[in-house]
Amino acid sequence: MADKRAKLRKLTGRDKAVLTAMAGIPALLTTALIWVPALGSIVLSFSKWNGIGGFDQIQWIGGKNYYNITHGYPPFGPAWHHNLIWFAVFVLVPVPLGLYLATQLDKRIAASRIYQNIFFLPVVLSLALVGFMVELIYAPEQGLINNLTGHTKPGNLVDWIGNPHLNLFAVLTLAVWRQTGYVMILWLAGLKAVDPALREAAALDGANEWQTFRRVVLPALRPVTIVVTVITVVETLRAFDIVYVVNRGKNGLELLSTLITDNIVGEAIRVGFGSALASILLVVSVLVIVPYLIVTFRKED
Amino acid sequence: MRILGVRPARLSLHAFLILTSLVWLVPVVWALYTALRPFADTAKHGYVSFGGSYDVKNFTDAWSQADMMHFFLNTFVITVPALVITLFFASMAAFVIARFRWRYNVALLVLFTAGNLLPQQAIITPLFRIYTTIKVPNWMSDSGELYDSTLGLILIHVAFQTGFCVFVMSNYMKTIPGEISEAAVVDGASVFRQYWQLTLPLCRPVLAALATLEFTWIYNDFYWATALISTGDKRPITAALANLQGEFFVNNNLVAAGSLLVAVPTLIVFFALQRHFIAGLTLGSSKG
C-alpha cells in the first residue's frame, strides 16, 4: 500500500515550523503536566518528606518506603485485594454483558436507539454523583433495597454500606451499572466497523449466528477487544470517586487510589510514602498500557 | 411461527432488552421519585410508599441551598474552554501524525495516549508542587498560582484529555482520502490551511463524538477539582454537591434532587450530539 502521508522533505521551512508548533505545543503541555509529575512520583518514592518545606527538607531513604508498604502498612493488603476484586467483577460482568447488548443492538431491531440511550444513561452521570445515589439505594432505614425486602426494623437491618463484607459489592453494583454502558458503546463502535461483506460471506457458507460471531465477528473485533481490555484495567486502577464519596475509602472500601490520597492530603502528610504507593500504581498501569500501544501502533509502520 | 409478524426469537430478545432497560432505569427513576416527595412524607410513610404530596420543592431547595447557579457557572467556565482547547490541540497533533510521515509519529502517539491512561493519583503530588510553584499574574488567577485557580484546572484537563482525542482523531483522519490535500498542495495551500479549511470540516462526526465524551468527562470530574482547588467557592458543581449533605443528618430527598439537577447538562449534550456519537467513534477499523 502506498503511503498516503506526505513526506516532510517536500515542505517549505515555514510549513515545517508550523507543523512542529502544531504537534509540539500540545506535546509540551502533556509532558510538563503528566510525564514530569509521573517521573517526579517515582523520584519522591525514595524519599521522606512532609511536602511542606522546600526541597532541601527531603531526606533520601532508598527503598525503605516500599519495604514499609509491604511489611508495616495494614491497609495495603486489603486495598490490593479490593482492586483485584474490582477488576474481576469488571471483566466478568460489563465486558461480556456489554458485548452481548452491543451485538443485539447492532442488528436491525426496533427501538435500538432507545435501548442504547437507556444503557448509556449512567455513563453521563459522574461516579461522584452515583456515590450520592448509593445512599438512596443502600441506606439502612431509608434505602430502597431494605425497604423492598423489609429489613428496616432495628434487629434485622442490613447495613450495606457500614458492613465491610458487603459494602464493596454494594458499591461495585453501581460501578458495573455505569461501566456496562461505556463498554457497550465501545463494542458497538467496533461492530459498526466490521465489514458487512464478511458476515454475508459467512451466511452464504451456511454458518449459523453463533458460528458467524465466533469465527468472523469476534476476530474482526480484535482492535476493540484490546481497547476494552485496557479501559477495564485503567478504570479499575482509577476507581476512586464513588468510594471516596461514600466513605472516603475506609472500612472495607480501601483501594490503592484512596490510600495514596490518605497519605498525601489529610492530617499526617507522608509524601514519600504516598509517592511509593503512586509509583506502584504507575508501574502496574504502564505494564498494561505499553504492550497495548506496541500492538496498536506496530502494524502502522 | 410468527406472532404479529415478529419471529419468536425477536420477541424474546425484546423481552430481555425491556427487562434489562427497566433494571437499568431503577436508580434514576428512584432518585426522581424520591426527589419529588417532601421529606416529611417519606419520614412518615417510609420511602417505599405512595401518597402524600408530590412537588418540585426539593429541586428549588437544592438549587438555592447549594447555591447551584454559582457552581454551575464555575463548571462552565472550566468545562467550555477546556473542551475547546482540548479538541483544538488534539486535532492539530492528530493532523500532523495522520498526514505527514516523520520520525516522531509513534513516539508522539505513545506520549499522548499513554498520558491519558495513567491514574490521576499517580501524578498528583508532583503536580501539586508544580502548581504551587508556578506563579501567574493575578488577572489570570486570583490565587497568584496555578494551584487553586480555574486556569490550572483547565490546563490539567487539556493536558490529560488531549491524549484520548489524539488517538481517536488520528485514526479518523487516516480514513480521509489523501487526494484532497494533494490537490491543495498543488494549489499552494499552506499546511495550516490544509488543516483548518480542508481536514477539520471533514472531521465533524468525530469532533461531535469526542465533544460528547469529553464534555461528560470534564464536566463530571471530581478528582482534579477536589485536589487542585482549595477554595470551596471556586469548585465546580460535582465537588460542591457535598454542600447538600448535612453533617449529622442526610435529607435524601434533597440529595436526590441535587444529583439529578447536576446531571441535566450532560444529558442535554448527549441527546443533542448522540446522532454522531457511534459513527464518529473510530477506534481502529478492521477494514482494509
pLDDT category, A109, cuts 50, 70, 90?
confident
The interface predicted TM-score of the complex, written ipTM, equals 0.87
* B21 exposure class (CB count in 10 Å sphere: 0-12, 13-18, 19+): middle
- B143 in a structural domain: yes
For residue A276, list chain B residues with Cβ-Cβ distance below 8 A.
none
Local structure of B175: helix, strand or coil = coil
Q: Residue A6: beta bridge partners? A: B100
Minimum mean pLDDT among A18-27, B28-37, B236-245: which range? B236-245
B203: domain CATH number is: 1.10.3720.10
Of B156, B195, B238, the CB nearest to A128: B238
Q: What is the DSSP string of A212-244?
A: HIIIIIHHHTHHHHHHHHHHHHHHHHH--HHHH
For A11, the closest of B123, B191, B271 (CB atoms) is B191
Q: Dig out the grid coordinates for B48 from the structure.
A: 417505599
**Residues for chain A: how many in total?**
301
User: What's the pLDDT at A6?
Assistant: 59
Residue whose entry in the numeric block shows the C-alpha cell 481497547: A227
**Which residue in the set A111, A241, A264 is minimally distant from B222, CB to CB?**
A241
Q: Is residue A114 part of a domain?
A: yes
First to last CA, chain B: 41
- What is chain A's percent helix, strand, coil content, to nearest 5? 70, 0, 25
Across residues A30-50, what is the average pLDDT? 92
Indicate the range of A107-121, A158-172, A282-296 predicted with least confidence: A282-296
In a domain, A269, yes or no: yes
**What would the mean pLDDT of A52-57 be, rounded to a whole number?**
74
Confirm whether B177 is domain-assigned: yes
pLDDT digits (tens, 9 = 90+) for B43-79: 888 777 887 888 899 999 889 888 889 999 999 999 9
Flag whether the pTM goes above 0.95.
Answer: no
Note whether residue B40 is domain-resident.
no
Q: What is the CATH number of the domain that holds A278?
A: 1.10.3720.10
Mean pLDDT for the stretch of residues A24-31 = 95
Q: What is the pLDDT of residues B122-144, one digit of tens each?
A: 898 889 889 988 888 887 777 88
Q: d(Cα A257, Cα A224) in Å, to the nearest integer?
A: 27
In one-letter notation, the amino acid at residue B63 is: W
Rg over CA atoms, chain A: 24
Mean residue pLDDT across chain B: 85
Burial tier of A173 (Cβ tally within 10 Å: 0-12, 13-18, 19+): middle
Contacts of A271 in chain B (CB under 8 A): 125
CB-based contact A152:A144 (threshold 8 Å): no
Which residue do the cell numbers 436507539 mark?
A: A113
Would residue A275 count as lying in a domain? yes
Separation of alpha carbons B47 and A142, rounded Å: 6
pLDDT band at A267 (very low <50, low <70, confident <90, very high): low
Q: Is A132 domain-assigned?
A: yes
A103-141 burial: b if 16+ Cβ within 10 Å, else e: bbbbeeeeeeeebbbbbbbbbbbbbbbbbbbbbbbbbbe
The range of the structural domain enclosing residue A69 comes to 65-298
In a domain, B271, yes or no: yes
- Is residue B185, in this structure, part of any structural domain at all? yes
Does residue B48 fall inside a structural domain?
no
CB of B17 within 8 Å of a chain A CB? The answer is yes
Start-to-end Cα distance in chain A: 12
Highest mean pLDDT: which of A18-27, A125-134, B131-140, B225-234? A18-27
Q: pLDDT tens-digit profile of A159-208?
A: 888 888 889 999 999 999 999 999 998 898 888 878 888 888 888 888 88
Is A263 an interface residue toward B (CB < 8 Å)? no
Nearest alpha-carbon partner for B219 in B252, B241, B245: B241
DSSP E strand boundaries for A20-159: 47-48, 59-60
A38 and B122 in contact by Cβ < 8 A?
yes
E-assigned strand segments in chain A: 6-7, 47-48, 59-60
* Domain range enclosing B131: 78-256+267-280
Are the beta carbons of B246 and B178 closer than 8 angstroms? Answer: no
Model pLDDT for residues B194-219, shown as the tens digit of each residue = 899 888 988 888 898 889 889 999 99
Q: What mean pLDDT, rounded, does chain A reach?
A: 86
Give me the residue from A126, A190, A293 closest to B113, CB to CB.
A293
State yes or no: pLDDT of A246 exceeds 60.
yes
A238–B190 CB contact, under 8 Å: no
Which of A:107-136 have CB within 8 Å of B?
Answer: 109-111, 115, 117-130, 132-133, 135-136
Does B48 contact A101 at a Cβ distance shorter than 8 Å? Answer: no
Tally of domains in chain A: 1
Residue B283 has pLDDT above 90, yes or no: no
Minimal CA separation from B211 to chain A, in Å? 13
pLDDT of residue A279: 93
Cα A251 to Cα A161: distance, rounded to the nearest angstrom: 9
- Rounded to the nearest 5°, which phi and psi values hold at B145? -135, 175
In sign, the C-alpha dihedral spanning B38, B44, B46, B50 is negative
> Which of A19, A127, A264 has its CB closest to that of B191?
A19
**What pLDDT score was predicted for residue A134?**
85
Structural domain total, chain B: 1
Would residue A117 count as lying in a domain? yes
Contact A135 B190 (CB under 8 A): no
The answer to whether the CB atoms of A133 and B256 lie below 8 A apart is yes
Decide if B137 is inside a domain.
yes
**A contacts of B178 (beta carbons < 8 Å):** 4-6
**Residue A2: inside a domain:** no
In a domain, B3, yes or no: no
Looking at residue A123, what is its pLDDT? 87
A265 touches chain B (CB under 8 A): yes
**B288 CA to chain A: closest CA distance, Å?**
9
Residue with cell 431509608: A142
Query: Nearest C-alpha of chain A: how many angstroms from B141?
Result: 18
Chain-centroid distance of CA B121 in Å reads 19
* Residues A261, A249 contacting (CB under 8 angstroms): yes
Domain-located, residue A54:
no
Confidence of residue B286 (pLDDT cuts 50, 70, 90): very low
In chain B, positions 55-84, which contact chain A (CB-CB < 8 Å)?
none
Q: How far is it, in rounded angstroms, from Cα B187 to Cα B39? A: 70
Please tell me if residue B161 touches chain A, with a CB cutoff of 8 Å.
Answer: no
Residue A280 lies in a domain: yes
- Return the closest-CA partner of residue B37 out of B27, B28, B25, B50: B50
Least confident range of A46-50, A75-79, B22-26, B81-85? A46-50
Give residues with Cβ within 8 angstroms of B29, minimum separation 6. Answer: none
Residue of B nearest to A44 (CA): B126
Asked if B25's CB is within 8 angstroms of A26's CB, the reply is no
